Structure 1
Amino acid sequence: MAFLHDLVKDCIQFEQAFCTAKCPFNLDVRDFIGKIQQGRFNVAYKTYQYTVGFPGIVSALCHQPCREVCPMADNGGAISVRKLEAASISYARTREPDQYNMPTKPQRIAIVGGGISGLACALRLSTKKYNVTLFEKSDRIGGHLHGLMDSETLLEDIALQFKNEDYNLQLNTEIQDIATLPFDAVYVATGKDGNRFGLSLTDEGPYSTDRNGVFMGGSLTGANTMEAIAQGLNVSSAIEGYLKTGQMNHTEPLLHQTQLTYDAIRMIPAPAVAPANGVSFTREEALAEAKRCLRCTCDACVYYSPLMNHFQKFPRKITEDVEISINPSSLDGEATVATRLIAMCNHCGLCKEVCPKDIDVGEFLLQSHHTMREKGKMPWAFHEFYLRDMEFANSSAGLTRMPNGHDTCGYLFFPGCQMGASDPRMVMESYRFLLKTHPDTALMLGCCGAPADWAGNEPIHSEVIDRIRSDWKRLGEPTAILACTMCKQMFQRYLPEIKTEFIYTLLEQDGYTPKGNSNVAASIFDPCAARHEEQLQTHVRSIAQRAGYSLEPLPMERRLAECCSYGGQIGVAHPPYTRQIVERRIGQSENPYIAYCTNCRDIFAKAGKETVHILDIVFGLERRPQPTVSERQHNRLILKKQVLKEFWNEDMDMEKEKIKLSVSPGLKEKLDRDLILETDLMTVISHCESTGSKLFDPEKGTFTGHLQVGNMTFWVEYRATGNNEFELVNSYSHRMKIED
């Protein structure tokens, strides 16, 4: 389609490979060798034959400029493209040229010079059924090539390629004045030091001269042998364009440059294959040598980015699909080609990190998510749970307090919403440490707003950011001490006026002695949001080593850190994809992981990977079971109650549940997987009991009912076990609204 987002204007996905750019013919080596890799020698030969015109001659004489730029040169040896070209000739089913059944064209074209450039032009034009006459002053065709290779082999290849074509060959005919030639177009290729007939090249177009309808090229203009052949083939397009339009500029010169960079290529060293006979490849040797070829292309984003790898889509295709979704051309205007793709981005930044042009597809998808949400085209169900969870963290579990006994503060501890949800002890121990080293440290419990940003919900996100800014100013604009790298990203982007520090840096600078101690090997799993936090990465590793851990690197760490799957909160949009990401992350090493992101720690632990948080090590916290989504909300309330009591000597009355609900371990696991809160189910059961809106199953002795909470409809199957006591038998939720 015509649309091409500015984001991808610099994308080099389609840039030529280094060898193709260096090749006089611009042979698509990626395509040619790709066919040999598949054992398709015949189609590889056809590609080669059409590109170079005279495959037997070129494969024998090419000076192989491709070897000069091959990235494999220092990784086992440059690819032997010329030997592979010869192999395609040897192992093709047939070397016969294709025969084109086209009507002859009336235009007459003269070619002055029967050397290889003139012959190449004659071949291409006669194939298109033009009336071609070739004038050669000597008694044979081939020019200077007779001095470079066996004449019989030379003439044999020329004869083979012209087998199905008719052209008028005039030997022993020297042209003295091209003005006397009664032809519609002329190509002058009289060879090195040949007759130029007073012609000069112009900049009107490749091979164009200062005489209308006359073109010039080959060795006469300084080209080497391979360039002369390539120019002869290419000038045929210029001549054809002139015959159709009368203009001399109807062809593009062959491209001999590329924006592709060596940094974009993943090197896989492999020793060069040497022919057993010392001359040419056997079929098996050709296959082995072809498989060494990297087929150089810039595909780092698709290789590294889990999203683009999953869909096998490059930035250009993604922007096109997103454009169709945002501005659909369907009759009903409801096309949603890329809705799920947009919602599946982790916004980890890895695609930009590996892109030599710094193309940030994640940022593009984030802005697209915002646009789709504004247009009402993004399914609310993808983020309903997370937005409600954020609201809970900022309201019922939220808290902002000046340090006890202080009217002003220099620091503000902002642990984020997930640390206290995972284990309140991490926040409690961290704040105790901070009050000892920085007594004027305030505390703010709440969420940084990332869920609203990822959901594209600008009004809710702005409300969260404005609240944080307002509370920060009320506290005297202190330095924020963070425990979450995603919070740092949010602050950096939306609250740049707030100076930040990481608690891990303060622990390292203080020389805090970790209470946990271990002598085992482990690997640090860097969160994707810490990609550019080099000092933080170093400090976390130092703390782990001081605790006795022997650290072994992961394949993807530091600036190449990968998302644990939590970023973008994509779990609802595509659960299987989310599980796939987790499995790949925990499969990088058999070592236990040390994380400094609560989400990384909890997700991996839930998947069965031995993972500890660095603060577990620092404060000597024993291993804990992975909390469910319901337990996470309860943990936040426990944390709020504990900090109020210990640091401000205030009691907090936790709201007592109206009913007591018993849930089996297996069902708890299901509810956790489906992001269903037990408190919501209590609300449904209370509604069913108070209104009588329930159905009774006498065989099972259970009641069934439903209620819409927020935008989601929840169904429960339960039985009464006592006074306001119930056992949950089953539950599920869906997006449909039940009309009474």
Structure 2
Amino acid sequence: MQNYYKQFDTCRERDIPACADACPFKMDILTVQERIAKGRFNAAYKTIRDCVVFPGIVSELCPAYCENVCVRKSIDAPVQIRRMEKSVVASATRKTSNKYNLPAKKKTVAVIGAGLSGMGFACRMASKKYPVTIFEKNDRIGGRLIELMEESAYLAEFDLQFANEKYELKFNTEIQDLRRLCKTPDDASDDKETFDVIYIATGKGGDTFGVPLPDQKTETGETGGYMTVGDTAVFVGGELCGRDLMHALAEGINIASSAEGFLKAKKLDYPKQSEPTGCVPDEDKLTHIPPVAPKDGKVFSEEECVAEAERCIRCQCDACAAQCDLVAYFDKMPVKMRDEIFLSCKPAGSLVHKSPARKYVAACTMCGLMTEGCPEHIDLCGMVKYARHKMHDADKVPAAYRQYFVRDMAFANGEYAALKRTMGNKGKYAFFPGCNLGALDPQYVLKPYKWLLSKQPDTSILLRCCSVPVDWDGNSGKHQEEIEALRQDWVDLGKPTLIMACMSCQKHIREYLPEIQTVSLYEVLDQWGFEPGETTEADQEMMYAIFDPCSARNEEGVQSAVRKLISGSGVSAGELPKGDQHGCCGFGGMGSVAAPEFAEYVARQRMELSENPYIVYCSNCKDIFCDRGKKAVHVLDILFGIDPDGVKSQPDPTRRRRNRVALKEQLLKEIWKEEPQMKAYENKYPLTMADGVREKVNKQKILEEDICAVIDNAERTGRKTFDPNTGHYKAYKEIGHITCWVEYAPLEQGYEIHNLYTHRMKIELEAVWNGRKTETHL
């Protein structure tokens, strides 16, 4: 887990945009823009003032370094940040800084030079209530501002920002001996005024008093910019160090932080230059929006300022949010997820045993798209996968999350559905369709297998689940057991190349059983010379979009084969806007149970990629889209005429099991001419239900055998309630780790189901029910 944790050290989530990085003050421009966009000009002003100290001066003189790097330059014109700041200064109605009743500090501060950098340093230190004395050799303050602005304008700004601060200004006082201001061991004179910190800001060409500049080295080899004289820390900065005016002010403000560090903790260092930003803006957000032109030609009105702020695309490194459904839906950036996952993986017996990441760890579809899209290739999916195993071992994942999937896997690998057969000889190939393709319709397996036999008569078949559900669950022991069983099946068949119809199965087997050679069914169909039959006229007239499953992303051979097969069938199909870079359909992981609202969100996101119906080559994708009303046909529908119009209803969980049973029976009868020896898979009672109830059965993944178990328990024990108004009974029973409720009415043959639902609560049974003693262990 530590290795996954450390990879986030390079995460660019908190990297500032290029405009803020170019700003000498590293202003939080995104916050300023956001507040302007909401019309909160006083709040925007406060953000600017807290950063630059003198917004009235900076907005007039700053050359707008930020606009030179604005990403909008590539399409129209940069966001007019400087003009917006001027407009904020003009529009704000509350400009005086807050007055805090802080106690005066005992440590003293001196500034040599009353130019902009020195005044910025002085204002920041005075606001922390340090006694500040400013020494100016002339009879005016402002330094180079005198040449650049009206004196009344910058003096008014100084007065405004110092309104609630105390400081002493000494004009016509030229410092010639720095040691006279420092606390040194030779202090003997009673009239000597000394200071704990001194900032030298004497301007371009001014006196450094022997303090080395930041780009120089001291005699001891240390970086210059500061030194100690006795017990006094001395800093140099501003235009004296070759900075332009704005960088000089920014340096004075930053040195104030270093000075306070010395005064509080005797920590002496010079402000460090920040690393260049790694922010990667999403240029797909850029659309042509011409810059706003102020009516008065100078500053924006409030409405114009809001409009200009909305031109900003808020550059941030949000590739993860753009690529990862989990990040986007749960509105948690990866660093936050990292911390929650780390916390959730702590053993349940520890003092901290909360599991804030439990739901989204179980729901993650494991598409891997974020890792590919992240500039630093941070493997969030890998961390989630590792967390699943750690949380399973710590018993911190509700068993109800896994119940349906693990039971479904057990059925697929059990006597009703599993099949391992050769054609007499152990051939070079074996068809591995996966457990869900035949569950959709037996013909999806029967027809391709018969075609494979026509080309390679000794092709074996292996019907079973690839074991991905227990991998989703993080059950390492059970997963290893299933993987070994799959490996043994492969060995029993003579170690053939597996022809994979399910790309998820292929991806899973390649990861955990790399010794098994695999090839996709679609590549085999293309390479072995499949000749499609005639397609329907409706299909020929329809324009489709090809939806590549997430497990086939970057599988160029498979994607190419699918497109050749579609083209050869005479069906027209285009591409989705981002090709295969779109993520999962919503089937992956345990999201449909752990976080059904998330699974629904993912499915809807994929459905909206194109208005055209989809051609898919994953049975799960077909299930997901068709269930929600999006027309989707499987490529096998087109090639083998199974459901070319996409009109068949998607099977519910019970129908899926029956389809698997039917598939095994038909294979045995039609290929091996055998009568199946297994008992029939039937309900205890005949059940009828309306379409709306059937939809609930499908969404909540309830089996008809479970409904029968609830009714059987109610009829046997009498634990049921009767509603005389409807004539319906209501009853419940724990099915594994969930409690299933059923509202039903008896029929002449069987029962009619009127409603049902499930939950994870357990119900403590009473020993007496309806006046008589009953069982409490059911």
TM-score with structure 2 setting the length:
0.87
Report the Cα distance in structure 1 between the residues aligned to 2:590 and 2:163, rounded to whole angstroms. Answer: 65
Is 1:554 aligned to residue 576 of structure 2? yes
Partner of 1:238: 258
Contact 2:13 2:316 in 1 (8 A): yes
Partner of 2:209: 197
Secondary structure (helix, strand or coil) at the match of 2:160 reads: helix
- Of stretches 700-709 and 580-589 in structure 1, the one that deviates more from structure 2 is 700-709
Q: 1:256 to 1:277 in 2, by over 3 A?
A: farther
Is 1:457 aligned to residue 479 of structure 2? no
Residue deviations 1:282-325, cap 9 Å, x none?
Answer: 22221111111122212232344332222211112222223333
Structure 2 gaps of 5+ residues are 182-192, 766-775
Q: Identify the match of residue 277 of structure 2 among 255, 258, 262.
A: 258
Alignment of 1:356-435 (within 5 A): 356-406=375-425, 408-435=426-453
Q: Given residue 397 of structure 2, which amino acid in structure 1 is its aligned partner?
A: M
Q: Given residue 700 of structure 2, which amino acid in structure 1 is its aligned partner?
A: D
Report the Cα distance in structure 1 between the residues aligned to 2:211 and 2:587, rounded to whole angstroms. Answer: 69
Report the Cα distance in structure 1 between the residues aligned to 2:521 and 2:441, rounded to whole angstroms. Answer: 17
- Of stretches 135-144 and 446-455 in structure 1, the one that deviates more from structure 2 is 135-144
Alignment of 1:706-717 (within 5 A): 709-712=735-738, 714=740
Q: 1:156 to 1:465 in 2, by over 3 A?
A: same
Q: 1:178 to 1:661 in 2, by over 3 A?
A: same
Q: Given residue 650 of structure 1, which amino acid in structure 2 is its aligned partner?
A: E
Q: Identify the match of residue 219 of structure 1 among 218, 239, 262.
A: 239
Alignment of 1:17-96 (within 5 A): 17-96=17-96
- Of stretches 254-263 and 458-467 in structure 1, the one that deviates more from structure 2 is 254-263
Q: Identify the match of residue 631 of structure 2 among 591, 605, 610.
A: 610
Partner of 1:173: 173
Contact 1:628 1:672 in 2 (8 A): yes
Report the Cα distance in structure 1 between the residues aligned to 2:131 and 2:742, rounded to whole angstroms. Answer: 84
Residue deviations 1:604-639, cap 9 Å, x none?
Answer: 112222111011011122342221211110111111
Secondary structure (helix, strand or coil) at the match of 1:370 reads: helix
Alignment of 1:295-374 (within 5 A): 295-327=314-346, 335-374=354-393
Q: Given residue 640 of structure 1, which amino acid in structure 2 is its aligned partner?
A: K
Q: 1:44 to 1:256 in 2, by over 3 A?
A: farther
Is 1:538 aligned to residue 560 of structure 2? yes
Q: 1:308 to 1:601 in 2, by over 3 A?
A: same
Q: Identify the match of residue 490 of structure 1 among 499, 508, 517.
A: 508
Q: Given residue 180 of structure 2, which amino acid in structure 1 is its aligned partner?
A: T
Contact 2:105 2:131 in 1 (8 A): yes
- Of stretches 35-44 and 233-242 in structure 1, the one that deviates more from structure 2 is 233-242
Report the Cα distance in structure 2 between the residues aligned to 1:159 and 1:727, rounded to whole angstroms. Answer: 86
Q: Identify the match of residue 526 of structure 1 among 538, 545, 548.
A: 548
Secondary structure (helix, strand or coil) at the match of 1:635 reads: helix
Q: Identify the match of residue 597 of structure 1 among 618, 629, 634.
A: 618
Partner of 2:656: 632
Contact 1:410 1:440 in 2 (8 A): yes
Alpha-carbon shift at residue 137 of structure 1 (Å): 2.1
Q: 1:180 to 1:733 in 2, by over 3 A?
A: closer
Partner of 2:700: 674
Alpha-carbon shift at residue 277 of structure 1 (Å): 3.2
Secondary structure (helix, strand or coil) at the match of 1:413 reads: strand
Q: Given residue 697 of structure 2, which amino acid in structure 1 is its aligned partner?
A: L
Structure 1 gaps of 5+ residues are none
Q: 1:441 to 1:261 in 2, by over 3 A?
A: same
Contact 1:322 1:337 in 2 (8 A): yes
Alpha-carbon shift at residue 457 of structure 1 (Å): 1.9
Residue deviations 1:75-111, cap 9 Å, x none?
Answer: 3221111111101100001333433433333333222
Report the Cα distance in structure 1 between the residues aligned to 2:25 and 2:119, rounded to whole angstroms. Answer: 15
Report the Cα distance in structure 1 between the residues aligned to 2:99 and 2:710, rounded to whole angstroms. Answer: 77
Contact 1:265 1:298 in 2 (8 A): no
Contact 2:420 2:463 in 1 (8 A): no
Identity of aligned residues (%): 38
Residue deviations 1:90-142, cap 9 Å, x none?
Answer: 00013334334333333332222222212222222222232222222223222
Alpha-carbon shift at residue 467 of structure 1 (Å): 1.0
Q: 1:214 to 1:694 in 2, by over 3 A?
A: closer
Secondary structure (helix, strand or coil) at the match of 1:30 reads: helix
Q: Given residue 514 of structure 1, which amino acid in structure 2 is its aligned partner?
A: P
Report the Cα distance in structure 1 between the residues aligned to 2:285 and 2:334, rounded to whole angstroms. Answer: 19
Report the Cα distance in structure 2 between the residues aligned to 1:190 and 1:706, rounded to whole angstroms. Answer: 85
Partner of 1:292: 311
Secondary structure (helix, strand or coil) at the match of 2:68 reads: helix
- Of stretches 397-406 and 213-222 in structure 1, the one that deviates more from structure 2 is 397-406
Residue deviations 1:225-248, cap 9 Å, x none?
Answer: 111111111212222232334442
Residue deviations 1:459-508, cap 9 Å, x none?
Answer: 22212111111121222222111111111221121111112111111222
Residue deviations 1:671-699, cap 9 Å, x none?
Answer: 3333222234445666777x676769696
Report the Cα distance in structure 2 between the residues aligned to 1:146 and 1:237, rounded to whole angstroms. Answer: 27
Q: Given residue 592 of structure 1, which amino acid in structure 2 is its aligned partner?
A: P
Contact 1:400 1:445 in 2 (8 A): yes
Alpha-carbon shift at residue 6 of structure 1 (Å): 2.6
Alpha-carbon shift at residue 382 of structure 1 (Å): 1.2
Q: Given residue 233 of structure 1, which amino acid in structure 2 is its aligned partner?
A: I
Contact 1:26 1:254 in 2 (8 A): no
Alpha-carbon shift at residue 344 of structure 1 (Å): 2.0
Residue deviations 1:427-449, cap 9 Å, x none?
Answer: 11111222223333211001011
Alpha-carbon shift at residue 659 of structure 1 (Å): 4.5
Report the Cα distance in structure 1 between the residues aligned to 2:179 and 2:49, rounded to whole angstroms. Answer: 35
Contact 2:420 2:462 in 1 (8 A): yes
Secondary structure (helix, strand or coil) at the match of 1:143 reads: coil
Residue deviations 1:693-722, cap 9 Å, x none?
Answer: 676969688777666554455566666656
TM-score with structure 1 setting the length:
0.92
Report the Cα distance in structure 1 between the residues aligned to 2:403 and 2:636, rounded to whole angstroms. Answer: 31
Q: Given residue 144 of structure 2, which amino acid in structure 1 is its aligned partner?
A: H
- Of stretches 181-190 and 319-328 in structure 1, the one that deviates more from structure 2 is 319-328
Contact 1:213 1:242 in 2 (8 A): yes
Is 1:111 aligned to residue 131 of structure 2? no
Q: 1:400 to 1:628 in 2, by over 3 A?
A: closer
Contact 2:713 2:719 in 1 (8 A): no
Q: Identify the match of residue 198 of structure 2 among 183, 186, 192.
A: 186
Q: 1:77 to 1:682 in 2, by over 3 A?
A: same
Report the Cα distance in structure 2 between the residues aligned to 1:352 and 1:334, rounded to whole angstroms. Answer: 28
Report the Cα distance in structure 1 between the residues aligned to 2:75 and 2:349, rounded to whole angstroms. Answer: 51
Note the aligned Cα RMSD (angstroms). 2.9
Q: 1:31 to 1:643 in 2, by over 3 A?
A: same
Contact 1:111 1:188 in 2 (8 A): yes
Report the Cα distance in structure 1 between the residues aligned to 2:727 and 2:156, rounded to whole angstroms. Answer: 93
- Of stretches 651-660 and 60-69 in structure 1, the one that deviates more from structure 2 is 651-660
Contact 1:264 1:298 in 2 (8 A): no
Q: 1:243 to 1:374 in 2, by over 3 A?
A: closer
